[in-house]
Chains A and B, each alone.
Chain A
């Protein structure tokens, strides 16, 4: 039997407002517990929520960037459940009239482009944090996060495998960071997602029963949780069983999903319209202002890099996919002429260092100024590519200026042809055996001579000059 996987994602994006969705408490991350809490977040009797306009404007930015319908009139509903980190006993969310309606986003996975449709994106408040492992027999509650604005982005069940799910999540992260509506820092929980997985026979028109895996906050875990779930559900179906509709938890230590039975029986949220809030209305003028202030998005950047800057498609995609990378590219290109060399170094050596340290480019010691100077010194042949790599590593460590590093370490490329020639001559004289073998047809030995000259000059020789000189000498 061939089973087809159907996946839908609900992504919770923490909007980067300064204050909460319904109160004037700060949303700052990492504060002392329970210091960013207002009377409204605490759910005290007699208080009323007042909507933060900026959260709506940010949600609309997302909607416009994903070609979505914008509901200029949107309203709130109560989702009722009891949990200690939700003091009111209900979450204020948008059920009936979400701010953002149907939209779509383009993803790139398994070597292909695909459009994933977005069902809706609605505003809601985050819950507080429960701390289970600090206290014996008790759970600690920190309400700093309670009331932080979330945009919940719900995809259609159109995602076919784990790779596509990760690509979709990355595409959403790209867009929200480019739009400056979320910092995208996964480690701080700025983006989390619930994954719905079900299996059906290829010919079936109806979807199978789905399991929902809650609260995953890394690309790697999304991929692993889905892989585990596909395997689990396939085994159940193959042996004639049926998949239970339930909420599951992904355990990254054991790499498995587990049923969260405790939440199961309470899965009746009794939604009703929030009586404490009137509908929020966005005017045509406000909508147009947001539309005209949208920044260039990754897809547009990628096209421009290919068509106008003439980058390779693969380079354009990598650079355009990250806001910090694109900023670095564009700033460096303003200060140097060789855009394609800037691109090649960004995608190659710089990306390698970023991956090694697992950081974004704006967290590194590399400034666009310094990077532009480095590219300039390669272009004007002051240093070779190989030396430039060690200069880049030095910048990475110290943040020192390119020219200072080149001067301090004596790295300037040897352009003096006569000096190179005398070094090359000596190497040819010292290695008669290799010379004979080379002249006898062992062409590969040419590299040996180049290597020796480079060794002698500590890598400072201009490789092109060395090639020419050696060719002449070995004729």
Chain B
């Protein structure tokens, strides 16, 4: 992993870091990848991919409306809102 990839991931994750830490973060991430890469040594060609370590299936629910209207509480929690909407800095296409 190079510095350019680190910058891209940081952007996709909406994270910023000090430029002087860039070297250290890149090294750390490379070490993590090296560690996880050991898994590639395992022979897995005959094994079905595992979507979950729990060998169970999902509990589903019937199609009923059970939620209450919590509009007031939600809007109060938002950094900025008016009587109807959560407000964010303008997003323009």
Interface residues of A (CB under 8 A from B): 17-19, 23-26, 32-39, 42, 50-56, 73, 75, 80, 82-84, 96-97, 130-132, 134-135, 137-143, 249, 260, 262, 265-266, 268, 270, 273, 275, 277-281
B87 touches A279 (CB 8 A): no
Report chain A residues within 8 Å CB of B21: none
Report chain A residues within 8 Å CB of B54: 278
A278 touches B60 (CB 8 A): no
Report chain A residues within 8 Å CB of B80: 138
Interface residues of B (CB under 8 A from A): 8, 11-12, 14, 49, 51-52, 54, 56-67, 69-71, 74-75, 80, 82, 84-93
Which residue of A has the minimal Cβ distance to B69? A35
Report chain B residues within 8 Å CB of A53: 60-63
Cα distance, A55 to B63, chains bound together (Å): 8
Report chain B residues within 8 Å CB of A96: 49, 51
A19 touches B66 (CB 8 A): yes
Tell me the minimal C-beta distance from B56 to chain A in angstroms.
Answer: 6
Cα distance, A96 to B61, chains bound together (Å): 23
B67 interface neighbour in A25, A33, A141, A278, Cβ under 8 Å: A25
B64 interface neighbour in A18, A38, A39, Cβ under 8 Å: A18
Main secondary structure of the interface of B (DSSP, over half): loop
B51 interface neighbour in A25, A75, A135, Cβ under 8 Å: A75
B71 touches A35 (CB 8 A): yes
Report chain A residues within 8 Å CB of B87: 135, 138-141
Report chain A residues within 8 Å CB of B67: 19, 23-26, 36-38
Report chain A residues within 8 Å CB of B12: 80, 266, 268, 270
A18 touches B86 (CB 8 A): no
A280 touches B84 (CB 8 A): no
A140 touches B84 (CB 8 A): yes
Q: Take A24-B66, A270-B12 as given contacts and tell me if A139 and B58 are in contact as well, using a CB distance cutoff of 8 Å.
A: no
Cα distance, A260 to B93, chains bound together (Å): 7
Cα distance, A82 to B56, chains bound together (Å): 31
B52 touches A18 (CB 8 A): no
A42 interface neighbour in B74, B82, B88, Cβ under 8 Å: B74
Q: Take A35-B69, A142-B84 as given contacts and tell me if A54 and B62 are in contact as well, using a CB distance cutoff of 8 Å.
A: yes
Which residue of A has the minimal Cβ distance to B49? A96
A84 touches B57 (CB 8 A): no
Best-buried of A139, A262, A266 by chain B (most CB within 10 Å):
A139
A37 touches B91 (CB 8 A): no
Tell me the minimal C-beta distance from A15 to chain B in angstroms.
Answer: 10
B88 interface neighbour in A138, A260, A268, A280, Cβ under 8 Å: A138
